[in-house]
Structure 1
Amino acid sequence: MNKWRNLAILTAGVTMLAACTNNPYTGESEAGKSGIYGGIGAVTGAVIGAATSSKKDRGKGALIGAAVGGAAGGGYGYYVDKQEAQLRQRLVGTGVQVQRNGDQLTLIMPGNITFATNSSDISSSFYPTLNSLVTVFKEFDKSGINIVGHTDSTGSLALNQNLSNARAQSVASYLSSNGVAGNRISAYGAGPNQPIASNATEQGRAQNRRVEITLQQMQ
């Protein structure tokens, strides 16, 4: 009875440790999905490890099971942690924002640094940034890459739709021509239909002119 009580205390502790991750940029503790799933895996592994071990080895079996289960449970969340760290390191000072929502990463590339006005030709000054993305995307090849072009509401809907689609396709073509697998990439234009700021001001319109790349686990 005492052994199983000790096992419960052990697995609870493992869960708490696995669920608490530190943001590498702020140093603050945060509960990420990789930690949560790792904690669940640790508990499961500990129980299985204890149950399949002899009485005298149950404590050892629980520890081994917790370690194995925790690593497996972290899974894609841990993979995203590493991918996010690489992207943030390489994109410092480029003007590209990195946002994370669970196991999904979104890169926001402002239109003024990516393309000339009313053009879908990538600015030559932006090639080094795209080359950095190519390097990371090729290293972390388990993520699907969804590219969406966005515009402000100035001009006709048809013009904006076509421009946003052409810009998304330009980025997709650059990635694939530099070795990123084409079957990972999708691209389309959303035109002015998904604003993130008011189109009533120049500042807001500038924010709306952008290309977003969303990275998520391939199905």
Structure 2
Amino acid sequence: MNISRILLSGTAALALIGTSACVTDPNTGEKKISRTAIGTGLGGTLGYLLGGAIGGDTGRIIGAGIGGSAGAVLGKQYDDQIKELRETTVGSGVDVEEVGDQDAILVRLPDGVTFATGSAAINPSFYATLDSVAQTLIRYPNSLIDVYGFTDTTGSDAVNQRLSKQRADAVADYLSTRGVARARMATQGFGEQYDYLRIKTGDNINEPLNRRVEIKIIPVSQDDVNAARGN
């Protein structure tokens, strides 16, 4: 495992938060925390998080059947969903983060709990947590869902790439058995490309969390639907 690369990614994230998380409200002059900076600091240093939906969103919005119920303003829905996800996964090891300025919600499944080394089989003890995530996705249907898989550095690059995609597929397939429309979901494997560190206030840097899956929930507004349909 490349410790220097891991430490660099964690240090870069902390530096970014420290230097750019505070912004000044132009109306009051008050210092506030920037959601964009927080999203970039915690997750956006991993550049794939700030990109669009896998394969683009136009065809996927139409294919998923997202339509007239999509809201014009997503702010409250976004806040409600992220609050619900945090509440329903508390104590499970799941991290729920904001990405960008309400661009997406990231649900990061825990390393070493969801999968065993070299396996794409979901640990049965984690089914209940995924069931809770599925129920939230069903209650908030106006979104696309990207599922990303990752591995540690055990094994060859080719094996890890294949395993990471299998892990992403396994989570997407499980969510679909719980009622989440498979057409909303796309999957991608990143092998061992991206290291992630869980850094907690007052703690030392923990072990990297690489044997994991991340679920990126991308809100879809009525404007997005109209654009996809060419209206």
The reply to whether TM is greater than 0.5 is yes
Percent of aligned pairs with the same amino acid:
36
Unaligned runs of 5+ in 2: 1-25, 37-70, 198-204, 225-231
| TM-score normalized with structure 2 length | 0.59
Equivalent-residue separation in structure 2 for 1:115 and 1:31 (angstroms):
34
1:61 is matched with which residue?
Answer: none
Equivalent-residue separation in structure 2 for 1:162 and 1:156 (angstroms):
10
1:203 is matched with which residue?
Answer: 207
1:120 is matched with which residue?
Answer: 120
How far the C-alpha of 1:154 sits from its partner, in A, is 2.4
1:168 is matched with which residue?
Answer: 168
Do 2:35 and 2:98's aligned partners in 1 also have CA atoms closer than 8 Å? no
Counting only pairs closer than 5 Å after superposition, residues 1-219 of structure 1 correspond to structure 2 as 75-101=73-99, 102-103=101-102, 104-197=104-197, 203-204=207-208, 207-218=209-220, 219=224
The alignment partner of 2:207 has SS state of helix
Equivalent-residue separation in structure 1 for 2:187 and 2:110 (angstroms):
17
Equivalent-residue separation in structure 1 for 2:156 and 2:132 (angstroms):
34
How far the C-alpha of 1:179 sits from its partner, in A, is 0.8
Match of 1:86, as an amino acid?
E
Larger radius of gyration between Structure 1 and Structure 2: 1
Equivalent-residue separation in structure 1 for 2:35 and 2:121 (angstroms):
38
Unaligned runs of 5+ in 1: 1-14, 21-28, 34-71
Return closer, same or farther for 1:30/1:185 CA change in 2, 3 Å cut-off. same
C-alpha offsets along residues 180-205 of structure 1, whole Å, 9 cap, x if unaligned? 011110111110112225xxx9923x
By relative contact order (CA 8 Å, sep 6+), the higher-ranking structure is 2
Equivalent-residue separation in structure 2 for 1:93 and 1:111 (angstroms):
14
Return closer, same or farther for 1:158/1:140 CA change in 2, 3 Å cut-off. same
2:51 is matched with which residue?
Answer: none
Q: How many residues align?
A: 151
Do 2:78 and 2:219's aligned partners in 1 also have CA atoms closer than 8 Å? no
